[in-house]
């Protein structure tokens, strides 16, 4: 892996792996959009129903997207990871507890094709509250504060992979989300 410096502060990436690391926010947005589009496509092809999609202007309320279909409104914390990734948890803001039908959708994707699946779900049945996250460990701040410490974040809980339901197909996940 080589990096070429052409002007101060400008790094030209010469490896697709480096590009994945440096463009993770962009890729996350593409995966989220692909997921939303797949849900919309599912409803259109199966019942010609519309899916309302809302996104918060600021991500401080515990959810990334709101989807409404079949009379069910889901406040969704969206997470993604590459299929063979090592990530074993999702950090969830406790604000999600207060949202109607709050849940976490964790999508795996193929790094080469960006194909989606399998899918993980953490939450309750449609129209049921998420419930308390108090039993989960506090998340740790990912970057050090001014003192060099990484303090616990008591309003953010770490939900581990084993606590998620796993679905191989989008259809299964959509049934779990909307009935």
Neighbours of 25 (CB within 10 A): 8
Residue 23, pLDDT score: 80
Residue 5's pLDDT is 45
Residue 167 has a pLDDT of 98
Extract the residue ranges of the chain whose pLDDT is less than 70: 1-22
Locate the DSSP E strands across 10-100: 10-13, 52-54, 65-69, 72-82, 89-93
- What pLDDT, on the 0 to 100 scale, is given for residue 13? 47
The CATH number assigned to the domain with range 14-178 reads 3.40.1350
Instruction: Sketch the domain layout of the chain as residue ranges.
Output: 14-178
Cis peptide before 118 (omega within 30 of 0): yes
Q: Which 8-state DSSP code applies to residue 162?
A: G
Give CA–CA dist 57/45, Å, rounded. 30
Q: In what order do the strands lie in the sheet with 89-93?
A: 89-93, 152-160, 137-140
């Amino acid at each position: 892996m080589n990096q070429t410096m052409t002007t101060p502060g400008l790094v030209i990436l010469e490896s697709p792996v480096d590009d994945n690391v440096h463009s993770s926010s962009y890729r996350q947005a593409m995966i989220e959009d692909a997921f939303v589009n797949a849900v919309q496509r599912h409803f259109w092809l199966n019942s010609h129903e519309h899916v309302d999609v809302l996104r918060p202007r600021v991500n401080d309320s515990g959810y990334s997207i709101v989807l409404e279909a079949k009379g069910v409104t889901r406040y969704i914390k969206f997470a993604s990871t590459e299929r063979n990734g090592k990530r074993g948890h999702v950090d969830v803001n406790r604000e999600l507890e207060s949202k109607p039908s709050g849940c976490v959708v964790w999508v795996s994707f193929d790094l080469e094709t960006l194909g989606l699946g399998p899918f993980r779900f953490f939450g309750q049945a449609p129209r049921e509250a998420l419930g308390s996250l108090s039993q989960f460990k506090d998340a740790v701040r990912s970057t050090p504060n001014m003192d060099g410490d990484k303090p616990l974040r008591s309003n953010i809980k770490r939900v581990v992979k084993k606590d998620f339901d796993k679905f191989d197909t989008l259809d299964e996940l959509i049934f779990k989300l909307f009935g």
